[in-house]
Amino acid sequence: MIDKNIFPKELRDLRQWLNWRLERDPKSHRMVKVPYNPHTGHRASSVDPATWGTLNEVMVAWEKYQFSGIGFVFTDESGYVGIDIDKCLIDGRLNDVGTAILEKTPPT
* Amino acid found at 76: D
Could you give the number of structural domains in the chain?
2
**Strand arrangement of the beta sheet that strand 17-24 belongs to:** 31-36, 17-24, 69-72
Greatest alpha-carbon span in the chain = 41
Residue 101 has pLDDT above 80, yes or no: yes
Residues 23 and 69 reside in one and the same domain? yes
Residues 18 and 57 reside in one and the same domain? yes
> Between the CA of residue 79 and those of 4, 12, 48, what are the distances in Å?
21, 15, 17
- Report the pLDDT averaged over residues 74-100: 88
Residues 63 and 90 reside in one and the same domain? no
Residues 13 and 51 reside in one and the same domain? yes
Instruction: List 33's β-bridge partners, or say none.
Output: 22
pLDDT in tens, 25-49: 999 999 999 999 999 999 999 999 9
Domain span holding position 104: 82-108
Residues 53 and 102 reside in one and the same domain? no
State residue 63 phi and psi, 5-degree precision: -75, -45
Residues 13 and 45 reside in one and the same domain? yes
State residue 43 phi and psi, 5-degree precision: -55, 145
Residues 53 and 96 reside in one and the same domain? no
Q: Compute the distance between CA of residue 45 and CA of residue 51 in angstroms, rounded to an integer.
A: 6
pLDDT in tens, 4-29: 888 888 899 899 999 999 999 999 99
Residues 63 and 94 reside in one and the same domain? no
